[in-house]
Amino acid sequence: MQSMLAKIEKLTDSVSFFAANMAALVLLALVAITCVDVVGRYAFNSPLVGAVELVEICMGAITFFSFPIMFMRHDHIIVDLIPHFRRGYLGWLTSLLILAVTCYVAIKLGDRVFDYAVRAFEDGDITEYLRIPRYPIVGFITAAIFTAAAISLLRFIILITKPGQSVEDVANAEHFRLVTKAPTDA
């Protein structure tokens, strides 16, 4: 079971890297759009038509394409108000509970966004000024959300197999293992 989990984890790592690279490309496009808009607005008195729509699309894409890598690397923001809940078996149970809730919320969010993508496809929904179809964008966002949910589920399964460890301990150990692996082992 451990080798199968390791293979699945490697696959999800690749998918999360792909999504992170997509987010980086969208961020690069956002920078280019903003530069063209600002230069056009102030140098030529001619702003980029539809820049607001493009920025909105880019911001949504950056946010949701970042979900898989954030879930994979366990880069969530953590507020440790009661540190006793983060150690030992209590930390393990707390981590399992948080991962279960995270997975559930991501699935519910993905389901709602998927419904919107289907409606956008059926209705032929397009953006107001540039007339860009919404369903492909929302579809990619839906895929990123469901990928994040699958990663949470994978983290939950891995954590069940390691009683007494918190999700941070497991994530740090895996990160250490990936960083220290010799190039010949790949």
What's the confidence (pLDDT) of residue 182?
47
Structure tokens at 8: 């699945």
Sorted by where each begins, the domain ranges of the chain are 2-185
Cβ atoms of 160 and 96 closer than 8 Å = yes
The residue among 81, 83, 103, 179 whose CA lies nearest residue 147 is 103
What's the confidence (pLDDT) of residue 176?
42
Quote the radius of gyration of the chain (alpha carbons, Å).
20
Minimum mean pLDDT among 1-5, 37-41, 76-80: which range?
76-80
Q: How confident is the model at residue 32 (pLDDT cuts 50, 70, 90)?
A: very high
For the cut 90, the answer to whether the pLDDT of residue 175 exceeds it is no
More confident residue, 13 or 31: 31
DSSP state of 164: T
For the cut 50, the answer to whether the pLDDT of residue 173 exceeds it is yes
pLDDT tens-digit profile of 114-154? 999 999 999 999 998 899 999 999 999 999 999 999 999 98
pTM (two decimals): 0.80
More confident residue, 163 or 107: 107
Angle between helices 51-65 and 135-160 (to 10 degrees): 20
Average pLDDT, the chain: 85
d(CA 32, CA 42): 15
d(CA 35, CA 55): 12
Q: How confident is the model at residue 184 (pLDDT cuts 50, 70, 90)?
A: low
Cβ atoms of 54 and 33 closer than 8 Å = yes
Structure tokens at 85: 């809940």
Structure tokens at 37: 């808009």
- pLDDT (average), residues 161-186: 58
Residue 51 CA: distances (Å) to CA of 12, 26, 60, 61: 34, 14, 14, 15
Q: How confident is the model at residue 179 (pLDDT cuts 50, 70, 90)?
A: very low
d(CA 98, CA 156): 9
Q: How confident is the model at residue 186 (pLDDT cuts 50, 70, 90)?
A: very low
What's the confidence (pLDDT) of residue 158?
86
pLDDT tens-digit profile of 54-109? 999 999 999 999 989 888 887 766 666 666 666 678 878 888 888 899 999 999 99
